[in-house]
Structure 1
C-alpha cells in the first residue's frame, strides 16, 4: 500500500514538474517572439501594492511620474512605441484601444489626455535595460470614481518586411487613477439607449446599445435578453450571457445574432434582465423593423440560406421526370384496365355460348 502511495506521489510530482517546464518554455517563446519584456515600477502613490498594474492616487492639478522598465531578451534591436489608451467595452470585455469611435459622451478628460510619455519611441537590443518615464497630470478639478486606461509598449513593425495582415505585438499595463481609492467595481447605473436591426460582420443582428455612464466599472454582470413580437406576443429571439464587464463611462453593442433565417419586419420589444452581486436592472425598449430595412438586411447579409443553381435545375428536372413517370404509369394502368375489361367480357360471352349449345342438345 505504501509503495502504491509513493508511486502516486512520484507521478504527481513528475506531472507538476513537466507542466512547470512547459510553462517556462511557452513564456520563453513569447519573450523571444516579442524580443522584450516590461515591468511596471510601483510609485509611492500606488493604492494597492498587490496588483500587477498601476492603481495610483492623484491630487488635483499635480503631476507624478510613472516608470516602466523595458528589458531586451534578444541580441537584435527592437524598436518600440509607447503610448496611453483609454478603457472601452466590446462584447462584455474591457479593451484598451486607440479607437476614437468607441469613446462615450460621458467620458470627460479621458486618461489618455492626462498622460505624456517622455520618450514615445525607444530601441532596445542585446539584452539591455531601459526605463521609460510617463507623466500623469491630474485634472485641476475634482473627479469622482476612477479614470481607467493602459500604457501600451508596442513593437514597431519592420518596414522592410512584406506588408500584409500584420500582427501587432505589445505589452499592455493597466492604469487606474483615483482621488480616494474607493471601491470602483460597483457601478449602479446601466442604460439601454436604443435597439435596432443591422448588419454586423456580415451577419443579421438585432443590436442593443448598453451604456455605463458612471466613472465606475460594472463587474460580473449576467444578462437575459428577450425579444418579443408585439403583434403576436411570441418570443422572436433570446440570449443569455454571464460575467460581462463594462468599463467606466463606456458603451457597447449587445448583439442578438439572427442566424441564417430571414429577419422579419414588425414591431418588437426588447427586454433585458441584468444583475450582478450589487444591483438589478430591468430594461425595455420598443423598436420597429420596417419592410425595407428587413429586405435590405436579408439581401446584404452573407449568412443566409442560398440554394445553388445546379440544385434548382436538378430539382426541376427530377420533378419533370417524376411527372412523366407518374403519367406513364397512369396511362399504362388505364390501358391494362381496359384490356382486362375486354378479356372479362370475352370470357362471359364464351360461357354464354357454351351454355346455349348444351341446352340445344
Structure 2
C-alpha cells in the first residue's frame, strides 16, 4: 500500500512538471504572433554603438539627422495601418524608463527634449503597410545651433491601428492594443563623463501614504540606483516605515514619486522625519526631511492602528459599546435604588 502511494505521488509530480514546462511555450507563441508586426531601426551615419536595437546617436550642432524606422507587416493576407509618434523619456515610479511619454510637461531643468527637435508634422504619422511587406518612416531631427550638454532621450512609438484584435465575449467587447517603442539617445560629446545629481524636491502625503519626489536635475541617463528610505517619529529613532529598492533606472532631467510607506500600513496624523540614502556607482546622496501628516491627510479610520496593534476603529467601537453598557448599568442601579427607597 505504501509503495502504491509513493508511485502515485511520483506520477503526479511528473505530470505537473510536464504541464508547467509546456504551458509557457504555448503562451509565448501566442504573445509573439499576436501583434503581427515588427519594428527595427535603420541606422544613420551618426549611430555610435553599432547594432544595439535602438538609436544611440553622436550628433553635431545645426545638423539634420534622419531617424528611420522600418515597420514590417507579418500579416500574410491584410494591409495594416500603423500610427507612429515621437515622445520624451521620463522615469516611472517603479524605477523604469518610459521612452515615449506624450503627456508629461517639459522638465524645468532640461535644456532640450526630443520633441523640441522634431517638426510638428512628423511627431505623429500614419502609414499603411501591405500584407507581408515593409515600409520605412522617417523622423528628421533638426539639431539646434547652440550646443547642449549630456544626453537627450526619447523614443519612437509605433501602434497598430487596423484590427486591434477585437474579441466578443457575451455582451462585452474587448480590444487588444499592440505597440512597440525604439529608444532614441542623442549626445554631442559621447566621450564626456557626466555625473548625475539627484535631489529631494518634495514629500507628499495623501491618505497616510508618503511619496518622496526625487529629481534628476542633470542631462544624464543612469541605472543601478539603490534607494533606502525610512520614516521615524520626529525626534525619535524607532523606524515605523522603511523601503529598499535596487537597480532603478533614471531618465535625464526627470522626476518621479517614490512610495516610501506600505500601502497596507498608512501613517496616522503626527510629526515625522524621512531619511533617504541613494547610491549609483560611486555617487551617494543623503536626504533628511521633516514633515507633518495632518488629520485630513492621515490614514482612513478603518486602517488606523491603536494600542496592541489592533485597528483604531475596533478600539472606538469597543469604547462606544463600553460607554453604552456603563450607561445602562447606571440606569438600572438608579432604578433599583429608587425602588428600594420606595
**TM-score, normalised relative to structure 2:** 0.73
Contact 1:69 1:130 survives alignment (8 Å)? yes
* Corresponding residue number in structure 2 for 1:189: 197
TM-aligned CA distance change 1:236 to 1:31, over 3 Å: closer
The aligned counterpart of 1:226 is 230
Sort the Cα spacing of 1:251 and 1:257 in 2 relative to 1 into closer, same or farther, 3 A. Answer: same
From 279, 283, 288, the counterpart of 1:284: 288
Structure 1 unmatched runs, 5+: 1-18, 321-361
State the match for 1:176 in structure 2. 185
Aligned mates of 2:236, 2:230 — CA distance in 1: 14
Residue by residue, what CA displacement relative to the aligned partner does 1:63-116 show, whole Å, maximum 9, x if unpaired? 121222111111222210011111101121111343433642212321022124
Structural RMSD (CA):
3.8
The 3-state SS of whatever aligns with 2:267 is coil
Match of 2:84 among 82, 85, 91: 82
- Judged with a 3 Å threshold, the aligned counterparts in structure 2 of structure 1 residues 46 and 303 are, in CA distance, closer, same or farther, namely farther
2:4 aligns to what? none
Aligned to 1:268, the other structure's residue is in SS state strand
Q: Closer, same or farther in 2 for the Cα pair 1:169/1:45, shift >3 Å?
A: same
How far did residue 136 of structure 1 move?
0.9
Q: Of 101, 104, 107, which aligns to 2:104?
A: 101
**Are the aligned partners of 1:88 and 1:103 in contact in 2 as well (CA < 8 Å)?**
no
Once residues 112 and 230 of structure 2 are traced to their aligned partners in structure 1, the CA distance between those partners, rounded to angstroms, is 36
Indicate how the Cα distance of structure 1 residues 181 and 196 shifts in structure 2: closer, same or farther if over 3 A, else same.
same
3-state DSSP of counterpart to 1:106: coil
CA distance in 1, matches of 2:43, 2:191: 19
Contact 1:109 1:139 (8 Å CA) reproduced:
no
Contact 2:83 2:127 (8 Å CA) reproduced:
yes
C-alpha distance after superposition, 1:107-156 (max 9, x if no partner): 23210221243981011232011111111111221100010011111112
Pick the aligned partner of 1:122 from 124, 127, 137.
127
The structure-2 alpha-carbon separation of the partners of 1:236 and 1:303, relative to structure 1 and needing over 3 Å to count, comes to closer
Say which one has the larger Rg: 1
**Equivalent position of 1:260 in the other structure:** 264
State the 1:46 CA deviation: 0.5
Q: Deviation string for 1:11-63 (max 9, x for gaps)?
A: xxxxxxxx9xx87x777544531121111111111011142100112221211
Change (3 A) 1:69 1:97: closer
Larger proportion of helix:
1
* Residue of structure 2 aligned with 1:134, choices 135, 139, 143: 139
Instruction: Look up the SS of the partner of 2:281 in the other structure.
Output: coil
Q: 3-state SS of the aligned residue for 1:257?
A: coil
CA distance in 2, matches of 1:102, 1:28: 38
Q: Show CA shifts across 1:260-285 (max 9, x none).
A: 34521111111111112121111111
